Amino acid sequence: MLSAFVNAFRTPDLRRKLLFVLMIVAIFRLGSQIPAPGVNVSNVQACIAQVEDNSVYNLINLFSGGALLQLTIFALGIMPYITASIILQLLVVVIPRLEALKKEGQAGQTKITQYTRYLTLGLAVLQATGIVALARSGNLLQGCTEPLLHSDATGTFLVLVVTMTAGTAVIMWLGELITERGVGNGMSILIFCQVVATFPASMWDVQKQQGWWTFGIVMIVGLVIVGAVIFIEQAQRRIPVQYARRMVGRKMFGGSSTYIPLKVNQAGIIPVIFASSLLYLPAMAVQFNQNADSEIIRWINKYFVTGDNPLYMATFFLLIVFFTYFYVSITFNPNEVADNMKKYGGFIPGIRAGKPTEDYLSYVLSRITFPGSIYLGLVALIPLIALVLINANQNFPFGGTSILIMVGVALDTVKQIESQLQQRNYEGFLR
């Protein structure tokens, strides 16, 4: 593998692309450390040391590489873009105009991408307004009595909102630059960098709290988890498809064999994000109603603010299973796939074209989604189990969204580099 890396950097154009990606990542991480104007940096750092582990914003803070709670210019990170992308994917299914754009190919996809950018900026304004309002009122970091901002003036408030929104726009631009001029998907690489940025601190917390012996065990278990995740992420069911020969003019077309790859984890990390976001709602409701004295508030405080109880874990697991089936059902349409196969003369051996093909694809998809949903649920529970067993941070790196993002993006990027190496007759990464 080391020789493959050397070969990659020996290729002039590929070397330029990799160095360009590293430069963009360095700029991105620098922006994640520069505080926004008007932020009291010393007070913010003191408060984070007290309450970061119990923050209800752990998911957003994870996707911002820890920049959210530090109120930097890139505090919102990539989260507004992720949310906008998910919303557009869901709207494509229910809005005929967007569905028609999707079927137009590259031109339609460009238009949907433009809508995603606009929606991202809108969500960034809303999120920035909420975060700055909480910081100004002192509710962003619970238990912290120090003011997080130098001034409560409206001018400071507006400057912070504009700065964070502009930071999100810059992040989108940097991601698109990586996609166009670098290697891999730009947004995915930026998400990967933000998640990896929290990895060393999370592991060092384990060492400080539990000692070197537990740290070593965690590393060994982590390597096993990474290997298992890689195995599942690459697992797929290949459904063979045969295309009949047909004569068009004087030329013969068709007669080829291919397959439809159905991944075990067809939904990716989206169900985990959906479930996490839904479970954050009760905790946020409690945060805004701390002075309310009611049975419901006390019950939510007991079972849904922290993840160290069986009810929270069971609810989280069931939500992930539900959202896995839900997301797969709206992103993979067996009817559309069956119609396209029939249109171009394709068929599954032993299965008639049309409705029988659609039924067969639905059956296989439902069967393969079940182990995928169980896998996602178990991986997502690893940080919560670690929280109970070794009192680890909720951002425990070997599990949940962290490990899924790191492995998924790394595999995709390595495959793209490998394909470019193979085009130049070099020995690649995957042997």
CA–CA distance, 57 with 429 (Å, rounded to integer): 37
pTM: 0.79
Task: Decide if 105 contacts 145 (C-beta within 8 A).
Answer: no
Query: 3-class DSSP state for residue 244?
Result: coil
CATH architecture entry for 199-398? Orthogonal Bundle (1.10)
For 1-197, CATH number out of 1.20.80.10, 1.10.3370.10, 2.60.40.1080, 1.10.760.10 equals 1.10.3370.10
Read off the pLDDT of residues 252-275 as tens digits, 9 standing for 90 and up: 655 677 888 888 888 888 888 888
Q: Residues of 70-80 as b/e, b for ≥16 C-beta within 10 angstroms? A: bbbbbbbbbbb
Which residue type occupies 333? N
Instruction: Output the pLDDT for position 247.
Output: 59
Per-domain residue ranges of the chain: 1-197, 199-398
Predicted confidence at residue 174, as pLDDT, reads 92
Phi, psi dihedral angles at 426 (to 5 degrees): -100, 155
Report pLDDT for 64. Answer: 64
Quick: pLDDT tens for 152-206: 888 888 999 999 999 999 999 999 899 888 888 888 888 888 888 777 777 777 7
* Residue 413 to residue 372: CA distance in whole angstroms: 22
Cβ atoms of 378 and 318 closer than 8 Å: no
Phi, psi of 116 (to 5 degrees): -60, -40
Q: What is the pLDDT of residues 366-413, one digit of tens each?
A: 999 999 999 988 888 887 777 667 666 555 666 677 788 888 888 888
**CA dihedral sign, ordered 330, 331, 336, 341:** negative
Within the chain, which residues score under 50 in pLDDT? 1, 53-54, 426-431
Report the pLDDT value the prediction gives residue 62, as an integer from 0 to 100: 64
DSSP secondary structure code for residue 247 in this structure: E
